[in-house]
């Protein structure tokens, strides 16, 4: 069975949405913050990471190293390490929020992750995807970068003190 990029994008959105609803607001917000940190690192140091990976014989002897692959794997690894080891993921504000809102944060986290990953691709790689959903996520990448922050600010004004 061949998995299409459209199916992959839908599965990532579905998985993050359900996962966000299950783990709760504080955990998904921690992951979202860690994803922003990892994205900043990869945007600033992604070329160095790719250069290192493409010149490291232990990696190049076993895998084909592409810029997209190196940057996407770096994004996943840095986010994972920060989520496991960072205190940001364990913050507890003492406030509760509905399951629907945590699912929304999960959805936005998936959108930010996919938009970042697709932005690491060249134009020819994105065209070769032949995926309406991937193109839609890429075209709305600014929305996926700004929506979580905007939602955090808006909901901070609606919380009871």
- Tens-digit pLDDT profile for residues 65-95: 889 999 999 999 998 888 887 655 544 454 5
Whether 33 is in a domain gets the answer: yes
Measure the CA–CA gap between 144 and 107, rounded to whole angstroms: 9
Straight-line distance from the first to the last Cα atom of the chain, in angstroms, rounded to the nearest whole number: 53
Measure the CA–CA gap between 103 and 30, rounded to whole angstroms: 14
Q: Is the dihedral of CA 100, 154, 13, 19 positive or negative?
A: negative
Q: How many domains does the chain have?
A: 1
Tell me, what's the pLDDT at 92? 46
Which residues of the chain are modeled with pLDDT < 70? 1-2, 86-97, 159-161
Whether 10 is in a domain gets the answer: no
Which structural domain, as residue segments, surrounds residue 132?
A: 15-89+96-154
- Spatial neighbors of 65 by CB under 8 A, at least 6 apart, are 50, 53, 54, 59
Measure the CA–CA gap between 116 and 103, rounded to whole angstroms: 20
Tell me, what's the pLDDT at 136? 93
CA angle 66–67–71, rounded 5-degree value? 115
Whether 46 is in a domain gets the answer: yes
């Amino acid at each position: 069975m061949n998995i299409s990029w459209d199916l992959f994008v839908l599965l990532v959105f579905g998985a993050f949405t359900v996962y966000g609803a299950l783990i709760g607001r504080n955990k998904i917000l921690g992951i979202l913050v860690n994803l922003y940190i990892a994205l900043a690192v990869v945007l600033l140091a992604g070329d160095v990471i790719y250069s290192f990976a493409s010149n490291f014989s232990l990696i190049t002897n076993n895998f084909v190293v592409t810029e997209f692959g190196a940057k996407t794997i770096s994004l996943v690894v840095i986010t994972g390490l920060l989520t496991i080891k960072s205190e940001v993921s364990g913050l507890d504000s003492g406030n509760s929020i509905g399951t629907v809102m945590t699912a929304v944060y999960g959805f936005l986290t998936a959108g930010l992750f996919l938009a970042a990953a697709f932005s690491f691709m060249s134009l020819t790689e994105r065209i070769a995807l032949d995926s309406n959903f991937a193109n839609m996520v890429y075209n709305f990448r600014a929305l996926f970068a700004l929506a979580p922050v905007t939602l955090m600010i808006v909901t901070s004004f609606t919380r009871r003190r």
